[in-house]
Amino acid sequence: MDRFSPLTSPYGTTLHFAENKDEGQFGFTTTEAGNYMACFWMHSHADNVPASIELDWKFGVAAKDWASIAKKEKLESWVISQRRAVNPCREAEMRGVNETTNARVAWFSIMSLFLCLMVAAWQLWHLKSYFERKKIL
């Protein structure tokens, strides 16, 4: 039975391709925003053979491999649990900062557009009155 599972980026780059795997694990760091596509298929699948696929997509803080971090940095379990607790707080704080910044940029854009329209209206009024005074209009 041939089994294939490619993982493709939004721009068509193949990030992972596994052939003839019954189970496995794969992680990657994205550089492109968008929808990623994972395809799974089986050739010559018999009707009486059950097939199932379980996916556990993790991203952000949940995707960190804390066991390898603990081994690499030689940390104790209480330090790891403290880092696990702090990271979601930081992520939530950064999300709040991003949302606030986006709102401020949106208001700044609206106010800039309004100011440009006001200056354009004033320029039209001023030019019209100037040309009327010079008796050109």
In a domain, 15, yes or no: yes
Instruction: State how far the Cα of 66 lies from the Cα of 83, in Å rounded to an integer.
Output: 9
Predicted confidence band of residue 5 (pLDDT cuts 50, 70, 90): low
In a domain, 119, yes or no: no
Structure confidence by residue, pLDDT tens digits, 53-103: 777 777 776 667 767 777 777 777 777 777 777 787 888 899 999 999 999
- Domain count for the chain, please give it: 1
Instruction: State how far the Cα of 61 lies from the Cα of 72, in Å rounded to an integer.
Output: 18
Structure confidence by residue, pLDDT tens digits, 8-44: 888 888 888 888 777 777 777 777 888 888 887 776 6
In a domain, 80, yes or no: no
In a domain, 20, yes or no: yes
pTM over 0.75: no
In a domain, 16, yes or no: yes
In a domain, 40, yes or no: yes
User: Which of 42, 43, 40, 37 has its CA nearest to residue 14?
Assistant: 37
Instruction: State how far the Cα of 105 lies from the Cα of 53, in Å rounded to an integer.
Output: 43
Q: Which residues constitute the domain of residue 6?
A: 1-57
Q: Which residues, in sequence order, are CB contacts of 35 under 8 Å at separation 6+?
A: 10
In a domain, 129, yes or no: no
Measured in residues, the chain has a length of: 137
In a domain, 62, yes or no: no
